[in-house]
A and B are shown apart, each in its own frame.
Chain A
């Protein structure tokens, strides 16, 4: 290899459906151990599919090509047995709705212990003790008593903590969190974000969200997705303070800030995200972009700039330009 090894490196990941519709259209992304990368974009842009492909959990009918290498292990195109081993030992996932992944009729402690049975050779009683310890470690008060409760007896925040403890039980190298706080109150969201920040110090955390406010709270780096492609990446401060892609800039402007009320109307992005399967010539953002020119009829590639970021745009905002 000529390039330095990167802990997680995704190359030209494409996800298509039988109909010929390509929902993820060539994603490149890399991350170092301990880094939190936020994958951000509007619904339907391909965030969840990208994450699911890394774990071999794509929905029926979807197939992935390209490559994703996690510390030497290829994740794309593996058979189910290999994938199960990877999911157990190397990668964990937390979803928006913990109820969809928890068994409603089994006490939560027993569910954590079950996961430990897959990863470890602990005895039954040791697993049960460890499950309670894990629950304590994710900030669940009164963990011994909570361990005996059913998922529906816990609050949404507590359930998400249980999911996080399950995802972390195998000490994964990669933790994927897909909108894990979208359904929670802001107060509980702040707690769960703090927990993830603390517990993801040794893993790659791929954090999926549509909320730039959450990005600001959790990410080291940001990757902005639009219509199945990454259109901008960079260090979180650089991207949020001085977005270069017109879509990133527009997305940021449309988020109201409780400390900085705007007079009059909230800025919006004209038009809509392209419908599934809709073909757009050139840059996919072109129909909604105020900076578009004839040059944009050729699709721009994601090109590195001097800030440590990359942008896929022929006419990005200048680094010095206040994108407002």
Chain B
């Protein structure tokens, strides 16, 4: 049996919207992350990726559904148990500058979780070791965040995140704000930490090339729901949901392709999550939409003969495959 460290079932999170009822930021999401592996969560901005990440880390309460981490139901725990569990789950966010206390030195930032959780032992030695682990020059320990480059700041954020040896780390667009060459360094670091420490990642990103490089499995999210999920290789080689294909077609490649015709289906932007009507939420942008799509909402279902799930009426059809 596969050992799933993180299991989310039927997660729902609504936010109130001024004068217009509520918005289903997360609208019935199931996810499973196998221990020591990376699940990537991809989709356009506003589709609910960060909210999902916060629900998994118990930084927010879901309106429905549950999250189990290492067998413990996260949102059912009492305060003390939750605090203990939190040690094992850490976030790394996009903008390390926002996430780091500007008035603390690097040394104090990395030491803080050790102190807060009374990790004990020789804290300064542990901090030095952590900085070495993320390949940060020890001379930077006395610097403040504004004195560091973006890549160095993200290394500090990662050092702090792994200080308590977490089992599960949610990386929310951790390299989106960095230069490509620095992105590659940080991604290599995240992978090395996974190899050495068996960390399980939820890797939130809109960069499909990075996702392909990092993740064993990929979940594609659209307007609060998962629309396709499966092993990375399979999903990239043969995407079954038209939205996955749209994202893949739009991803830039560092080589000259035929520019005409431009990726056909990129017309339209994601509508607000407020306006989910009947039928498939992707239908207004979908080049394959039929009458059925506009009346019947396709459930996420396993595709026979694959390890994949997709929420599309035509996920198996050659018509979909040829688009």
Taking Cβ atoms with an 8 Å cutoff, the residues of A that contact B are 42-43, 155-158, 185-191, 194, 197, 210-217, 236-237, 240-241, 250-252, 254-259, 261-262, 265-269, 272
Contact = CB atoms under 8 A, between A and B. Distances in A.
Given A255-B254, A258-B251, A259-B236, 7 more contacts: A43-B150, A186-B252, A194-B262, A213-B209, A217-B259, A258-B208, A262-B213
Nearest to A218: B259
Contacts of A185: 44-45, 206, 270
A269 B213 contact: no
Contacts, number: 118
Interface in B240-259: 246-257, 259
Given A185-B44, A254-B180, A217 B252 contact: yes
A190 B212 CA distance: 20
Contacts of A258: 208-209, 212, 236, 248, 251, 253
Nearest to B42: A186
B188 A268 contact: yes
B180 A155 contact: no
Given A187-B44, A216-B257, A265 B252 contact: no
By size class, the interface of chain B is 35 or more
A212 B269 contact: no
B256 A236 contact: yes
Given A185-B44, A187-B246, A266-B184, A259 B253 contact: yes
Nearest to A269: B181
Nearest to A185: B44
A259 B44 CA distance: 20
Nearest to A214: B252
B253 A257 contact: yes
B210 interface: yes
Given A187-B266, A194-B262, A258-B208, A268 B184 contact: yes
DSSP majority for the A interface? helix
Given A187-B44, A256-B210, A266-B187, A212 B180 contact: yes
Q: Give the 6 A-B CB pairs with smallest separation, nearest first.
A: A213-B252, A256-B209, A266-B184, A212-B254, A258-B209, A255-B254
A255 B266 contact: no
A256 B184 contact: yes
Contacts of B191: 265
Contacts of A259: 236, 253
A237 B257 CA distance: 9
B291 to A, nearest CB: 23
Contacts of B255: 216, 240-241, 257
Contacts of B208: 186, 258
Given A187-B266, A190-B263, A217-B259, A210 B44 contact: no
Interface string B77-117: 00000000000000000000000000000000000000000
Contacts of B250: 186-187, 189-190
Contacts of B295: none
Contacts of A212: 180, 254
B188 A266 contact: yes
Contacts of B259: 197, 217
19 contacts: A42-B182, A156-B45, A186-B207, A187-B247, A190-B249, A212-B180, A213-B209, A216-B253, A241-B256, A252-B254, A254-B183, A255-B209, A256-B207, A258-B208, A258-B253, A259-B236, A259-B253, A261-B213, A267-B184
A42 B181 contact: yes
Contact of B179 (A210, A216, A217): A210
A207 to B, nearest CB: 13
Nearest to A259: B253
B236 A254 contact: no
A25 to B, nearest CB: 20
Contacts of A210: 179-180
